[in-house]
Amino acid sequence: MAYVYIAKSVAGKIYIGISNNPDSRLVRHNTKQGSEFTKSGNFKIVFKEEYQTSAEARQREVQIKKWRREKKEMLIERYKKGMPTKI
């Protein structure tokens, strides 16, 4: 299994990534061992989708990264409400 996840900082920064264990990856982000972008820490996962393969997850990650911030925020809100997220 592979997951696409969105982590958001208390300052409002959005990070999109893939991992086979997003919760463990979040710990790495918040202890300054993750991506350079997340070195400020204080991120939480606000979106997560599961895929059978890392290739599928990577494809979705690339798709979401191309979106404008407004659409990413809409995706996060749909996820929070339990609505379909394939938009």
| Long-range contacts from 75-82, C-beta under 8 angstroms, 24+ separation | 75/6, 75/47, 76/6, 76/8, 76/46, 76/47, 79/46, 79/47, 79/48, 80/46
- Domain ranges in the chain? 2-80
* The pLDDT of residue 30: 86
Does residue 34 have a pLDDT over 70?
Answer: no
Q: In what order do the strands lie in the sheet with 43-51?
A: 14-19, 2-9, 43-51
Domain 2-80 of CATH type 3.40.1440.10 = yes
Average pLDDT over residues 54-78: 98
* The pLDDT of residue 42: 86
Average pLDDT over residues 6-18: 93
Average pLDDT over residues 35-47: 81
CB of 50 within 8 A of CB of 3?
A: yes
Does residue 29 have a pLDDT over 70?
Answer: yes
Provide the mean pLDDT of the chain: 92
As a whole-number percent, the residues of the chain with pLDDT over 90 amount to: 76
